[in-house]
Structure 1
């Protein structure tokens, strides 16, 4: 019952918002106000989008660096394994 009541109030709030926006939009001052609001919302979403893309680029660079380090470690491990094998062969040959 509480959920239904909350949904009714939610729907009434949305409908009231549309009615208020329609009434404000009829007045030239209201149109200007809504245009300014729309402009500010657009600026905000542009800033959020730019920040998201900057963070995405930063994270991609970090991941690329980590992959490079992992590849270097793999190469170092292979060289170390080869060197160890060669040293073992040299020691066993000299016996």
Structure 2
């Protein structure tokens, strides 16, 4: 129970710090670039999944 409480405190502090950082110009730039990188990564994973799925389907003749 004590560990869960510390987890909640850490998450809360993380949100507060992220909110404060996002109020600055450099913070907005940081979070914007982080968001773009995460989207690019997600798209790459999705594309790879679709390509591999197509390869497997063609291999089994589906």
Could you tell me the TM-score, scaled by structure 2's length?
A: 0.85
Q: 1:59 aligns with which of 29, 46, 56?
A: 56
Unaligned runs of 5+ in 1: 66-95
Matches within 5 A, 1:68-83: none
Q: 2:21 aligns with which of 21, 24, 35?
A: 24
Cα distance between partner residues in 2 of 1:45 and 1:63: 27
Q: Which has the bigger relative contact order, CA under 8 A and spacing at least 6?
A: 2
The structure where helix makes up a greater share of residues is 1
Which deviates more from structure 2 when the two are superposed, residues 26-35 or residues 4-13?
4-13
Which is higher, the Rg of structure 1 or of structure 2?
A: 1
Could you tell me the TM-score, scaled by structure 1's length?
A: 0.59
Q: Give the Å deviation of 1:64.
A: 1.3
Q: Give the Å deviation of 1:55.
A: 1.0
Equivalent residues, number: 62
Q: RMSD between aligned alpha carbons?
A: 1.4
Q: Give the Å deviation of 1:62.
A: 1.6
